[in-house]
Structure 1
């Protein structure tokens, strides 16, 4: 699994078009989230060979660490299948993100998931300081 994390002052997204035919329709309104960790998450085929619970726990722990380093409890979970050449099945990826979301909420974090299976128009306001941008292989 590859994870690219930004601390954002603000993040805006507007659904543009479906990237996955089975994705449900979603409102086209713009969503704005402030003071958050924005995680671009790419699940790989090798992640499917491991226990889902171990993978979502590892992801959640990394995101909690990023939050602590940036003094926030807000997390934006975004599926981003462009950080490696091979990707996991969409069903696995969606389950991974949903389980991570639940784990974070149970830990007292405020979570937001971007619409799965949609291309989004994005606006990102990210400061340029240490630990505001992190990349990790989990």
Structure 2
């Protein structure tokens, strides 16, 4: 799993193009402030492990990043451009849903960008050391 995390002053998206037939129809965008934005790519080799172990590793990293940025909001964004390897749609979505539940249980505000869409993005992010963190989990 590859993860690029950014602390954002503001992040917004608008659905541009549906690219997954089974995705629900979404036409409205959203805007978030003072949040951790996680660009996440679940890779094929992640499927060799169970969902729970991969999701727990992801959540621990996101919670650490949020603490470092004094933040309690996390946005999960599927971003299949961090690696050539891709897990199945079903496995990826399951990790996202389970990670969101775990974060909510830890009293984080959470959101997921629309899964199965290309999105128009607007990002305003400050330029300091821990505002951008990349990792391979």
Q: Give me the TM-score of the superposition, normalised by structure 2.
A: 0.98
Partner of 1:14: 14
| Matched position secondary structure for 2:118 | strand
Instruction: Give, in whole Å, the separation in 1 of the partners of 2:54 and 2:19.
Output: 24
SS of the residue corresponding to residue 131 of structure 1 reads: helix
Q: Report the Cα offset of residue 119 of structure 1.
A: 0.7
| Partner SS state of residue 67, structure 2 | helix
Three-state SS of the structure 2 residue aligned to 1:5 is strand
* Matching residue of 1:36: 35
The Cα of 1:9 is off from its aligned counterpart by 0.1
> Deviation of residue 30 (structure 1)?
2.8
Query: What pairs up with 1:33-112 in 2 under 5 angstroms?
Result: 33-112=32-111
Task: Confirm whether residue 136 of structure 1 aligns to residue 135 of structure 2.
Answer: yes
**1:7-51 CA deviation, whole Å, 9 max, x = no partner?**
00000000111111111101x223110000000000001100001
Unaligned runs of 5+ in 1: none
CA shift for structure 1 position 128: 0.2
Q: Which runs of 5+ in 2 are unaligned?
A: none
Measured in 2, the distance between the counterparts of 1:38 and 1:56 equals 16
Residue 25 of structure 2 corresponds to residue 25 of structure 1: yes
How far, CA to CA, are the matches of 2:31 and 2:101 in structure 1?
Answer: 21
Paired residue secondary structure (2:129):
coil
Q: Displacement of 1:78 after TM fit?
A: 0.3
1:4 counterpart residue number: 4
Q: Distance in 2 between matches of 1:79 and 1:98?
A: 12
1:68 positional shift: 0.2
Could you state the TM-score of these two structures normalised by the residue count of structure 1? 0.98
